[in-house]
Amino acid sequence: MSALPLSTAEVPRRAAAALERLRAGRPRVHAVMNTVAQKLVADGLSALGAIPSMTVSQDEIAGFVARADALAVNLGTLDAARRAAVSLALDAAAARGLPWALDPAHCDYSPPRAAFARELLARRPAVLRANAAEHDLLAVPDGVVSVRTGEIDRIALAGAALIVENGHPWTAAVTGTGCLSGAAVAAFLAVEPEPFAAAASAMLAIGVAAGLAAPHARGPGSFEPALLDALAGLRPDDLLRHARVRHEQS
Amino acid sequence: MSALPLSTAEVPRRAAAALERLRAGRPRVHAVMNTVAQKLVADGLSALGAIPSMTVSQDEIAGFVARADALAVNLGTLDAARRAAVSLALDAAAARGLPWALDPAHCDYSPPRAAFARELLARRPAVLRANAAEHDLLAVPDGVVSVRTGEIDRIALAGAALIVENGHPWTAAVTGTGCLSGAAVAAFLAVEPEPFAAAASAMLAIGVAAGLAAPHARGPGSFEPALLDALAGLRPDDLLRHARVRHEQS
Amino acid sequence: MSALPLSTAEVPRRAAAALERLRAGRPRVHAVMNTVAQKLVADGLSALGAIPSMTVSQDEIAGFVARADALAVNLGTLDAARRAAVSLALDAAAARGLPWALDPAHCDYSPPRAAFARELLARRPAVLRANAAEHDLLAVPDGVVSVRTGEIDRIALAGAALIVENGHPWTAAVTGTGCLSGAAVAAFLAVEPEPFAAAASAMLAIGVAAGLAAPHARGPGSFEPALLDALAGLRPDDLLRHARVRHEQS
């Protein structure tokens, strides 16, 4: 059993401190985001304290990334223009040493998208966020933190993994919450230089918010606004009190 | 007065059985969907039990359709790329004998869109879903089930028509609920081989859910999450109890 | 201190009368709208009583604008296709003398977008709607009404300015509410020929609705449906009762 980059006891404390910096610093996050989830992701980033932008215009994206503090690349509704925009965004991010997170949404449905995801992994995102089916298709390079979301969330690096057991089943029923996870990782990367801690903080923030939101909802429809309310109202202290994290026993 | 393909008494029973299969089978529905309604339609399909996908990338759409159980084609926010994607999607659907539903959204605003809708009707969708203004522009080919949504919903085939009187006026005030109806027809086509029964089941499911949702809402804004909650919680039994269907007296 | 085009006492009365005409006339508003905010803006326009359309297809946009009563041009998620669509839409609007409102969303992030916004201002929209950062980059031509939204809203023309102090802080936390303001200005331009009065009416309607919505929300997530409910339920009388407007003391 490999050692985690930070102990399970440290995770909530790091997450709470990062959330505090996020609220105070209001980092800009540029998200190349599929058209389905754009609104939810923008609202979710705003609720966390970040300032989202989402253009994929090839004339403009380098300028937006140059003004951003982190980049999220989501491959949903990928087309030729969006693919070109991703490359331009990554060049602009690399030029400034900007951290970025990759979300290869639905790459299990589409061999060309999976191939593109592999190319992008070779450009070394700080964090990969994917579901189990997407993960199974991709080989995560050494040193890239991998987040596998699902009933429980698993944040892994170099053979060690942290499990976050917060969250709520309704989350999976709302389109775009996975995409929001990926973008939230980018928001935390803007305020937490250590990618494993940033990824764990993002998953904990969304998971705890989901748990706090559920009692205010009647189903997945009302869960979505309740989740945004909970993200906006989330206090660092909530992370300390409600975190359910453990070291994966392998 | 022509005979209906199934009696008014059979409609709720067929719908209840189809809903049960939808929940159990979790069919994949690929929806070429206008950018405005994508999120609501994805959430509505998920709430019914289906698994939505929505790419219009020309590199990818055949792959997505090949993994789907039904196809929905909506002509809103149509542009050249989306038009090309529709053709590729229909080729992929035809190759596998996949059922599909056509929604010629807003074709009454745009002569080229109406012309494209006519071309697509000639490729014989299982079901056409449109509002009255759109219907008036199009000639429905023999054997294509036509659904006209409005204050009441009318499902017609070969001179006979079923009227569904469920639903709620707030539905029309929420952008994309018509588009959701068309996509829901596709979801039911995945589990009910008879297109008339599939179309009637979809309209009944959405209409009954709308009626159950309204008491939880204060207006069209809160009606949208309430409708998604109601779709997610809808039980086959609700369709049996609340159906208000009749044979159109012509 | 220059004189306002209409007195502060007249503003709520003009707004109430315009809202009444909007509800009765159901004008069509074509909105070139960024993909992030499309759904909220469509729902918000519908809630006010307008009928929205949003295509940016170059084949179709002139036809949509020809059937519209006003045009809203929002520069968010601008790309080459959208840029071309804007020009076609403006040509169609000019041919019919249709009033239009410009929203140079996020032009402060992107020099090419700011340059395009300047070109469009030279085509003389009736109203410019922007936040403070966007405003600072642009020179408003004489005779164009300028709306600067923020904690308070400022409607200015020829050196005189009206301040609207309605609204609620949650509005800024919901992505797309600024875009909705710009589109609402276009909706009021369809029923109020005087641009200053149309702009003031739109800002007052949204501000009063926000104030009425807030007590029904727990945070920005639930504020969005509550705002739509409030817009849909807004009565002319609410504007008379709740308006907080004043002449800017310069």
* Helix locations, chain B, DSSP H: 10-25, 38-48, 61-66, 80-96, 111-122, 132-137, 170-173, 177-189, 195-213, 220-233, 236-242
Per-residue confidence (pLDDT) for residue A250, from 0 to 100 = 60
- In this predicted structure, the answer to whether residue A171 has a pLDDT above a threshold of 70 is yes
Q: What is the per-residue pLDDT across B181-190, written as a single tens digit (0 to 9) for each?
A: 999 999 999 9
Rounded to whole angstroms, the Cα distance separating C176 from B212 reads 29
CA of C38: which chain B residue's CA is closest?
A: B36
Q: pTM of whole model > 0.95?
A: yes
Q: Which of A16, A40, A55, A89 is nearest to A238 (CA)?
A: A16
- Where along chain C do its domains lie? 10-247
Nearest to B40 among C39, C60, C225 (CB): C39
**Region A108-120 average pLDDT:** 95
CA of B216: which chain A residue's CA is closest?
A: A218
Per-residue confidence (pLDDT) for residue B249, from 0 to 100 = 75
Whether B170 contacts chain A with CB within 8 A: no
Q: Do A224 and C221 touch (CB under 8 A)?
A: yes
Q: Do C219 and A227 touch (CB under 8 A)?
A: no
How does residue A246 score in pLDDT terms, banded at 50, 70 and 90?
very high
How does residue C1 score in pLDDT terms, banded at 50, 70 and 90?
low
A77 contacts in chain B (CB < 8 Å): 54-57
Whether C174 contacts chain A with CB within 8 A: yes
Whether A110 contacts chain B with CB within 8 A: yes
Whether A59 contacts chain C with CB within 8 A: yes
| B137 close to B131: Cβ distance less than 8 angstroms | no
Find how far residue C74's CA is from the centre of its chain: 10
Q: Which residues pair with C3 in a beta bridge?
A: none
Complex prediction ipTM: 0.96
C83 contacts in chain B (CB < 8 Å): none
Residue corresponding to tokens 């641009």: C195
B78 contacts in chain C (CB < 8 Å): 55, 57, 60
The tokens for C218 are 């727990």
Per-residue confidence (pLDDT) for residue B191, from 0 to 100 = 98
- In this predicted structure, the answer to whether residue A1 has a pLDDT above a threshold of 90 is no
Whether C39 contacts chain A with CB within 8 A: yes
How does residue C249 score in pLDDT terms, banded at 50, 70 and 90?
confident
> Mind telling me how many Å the CA of C77 is from chain B's nearest CA?
13
- In this predicted structure, the answer to whether residue B2 has a pLDDT above a threshold of 80 is no
Angle (nearest 5°) at CA A174 between B128 and B96? 40
Per-residue confidence (pLDDT) for residue C2, from 0 to 100 = 77
- Does the domain at residues C10-247 carry the CATH identifier 3.40.1190.20? yes
Q: Do C56 and B40 touch (CB under 8 A)?
A: no
B57 contacts in chain A (CB < 8 Å): 77-80
Whether B216 contacts chain A with CB within 8 A: yes
**Region A4-20 average pLDDT:** 96
Q: What is the per-residue pLDDT across C142-174, written as a single tens digit (0 to 9) for each?
A: 999 999 999 999 999 999 999 999 999 999 999
Nearest to A109 among B39, B53, B59 (CB): B53
Strands C70-74 and C100-103, sheet pairing: parallel
CA of A85: which chain C residue's CA is closest?
A: C79
A110 contacts in chain B (CB < 8 Å): 55, 59-60, 63-64
Q: What is the per-residue pLDDT across A207-236, written as a single tens digit (0 to 9) for each?
A: 999 999 999 999 999 999 999 999 999 999
- In this predicted structure, the answer to whether residue C250 has a pLDDT above a threshold of 90 is no
B213 contacts in chain C (CB < 8 Å): none
Rg (CA), chain B: 16
- In this predicted structure, the answer to whether residue B3 has a pLDDT above a threshold of 90 is no
Sheet bearing A100-103, strands edge to edge: A51-53, A28-32, A70-74, A100-103, A127-131, A145-149, A153-157, A160-164, A245-247
Sheet bearing B100-103, strands edge to edge: B51-53, B28-32, B70-74, B100-103, B127-130, B145-148, B153-157, B160-164, B245-247
Q: What is the per-residue pLDDT across C176-204, written as a single tens digit (0 to 9) for each?
A: 999 999 999 999 999 999 999 999 999 99
Q: What is the per-residue pLDDT across B103-143, written as a single tens digit (0 to 9) for each?
A: 999 999 999 999 999 999 999 999 999 999 999 999 999 99
Q: Do A39 and C219 touch (CB under 8 A)?
A: no
**Region A88-117 average pLDDT:** 96
- In this predicted structure, the answer to whether residue A181 has a pLDDT above a threshold of 60 is yes
SS3 B127: strand
Q: What is the per-residue pLDDT across C36-64, written as a single tens digit (0 to 9) for each?
A: 999 999 999 999 999 999 999 999 999 99
**Region C217-235 average pLDDT:** 98
Portion of chain A with pLDDT greater than 70, in percent: 99
Nearest to B56 among A79, A218, A225 (CB): A79
Residue corresponding to tokens 């904990």: A204
Q: Which residues pair with C70 in a beta bridge?
A: C29
Portion of chain A with pLDDT greater than 90, in percent: 95
How does residue B250 score in pLDDT terms, banded at 50, 70 and 90?
low
The tokens for A191 are 């305020």
Phi, psi of C239 (to 5 degrees): -70, -40
Mean pLDDT of chain A: 96
Q: Write a three-state SS string for B130-174.
A: ECHHHHHHCCCCCCCEEEECCCCEEEEECCEEEEECCCCCHHHHC
**Region A153-175 average pLDDT:** 96
A225 contacts in chain C (CB < 8 Å): 221-222, 224-225
Whether A6 contacts chain B with CB within 8 A: no
Nearest to C77 among A46, A54, A232 (CB): A54
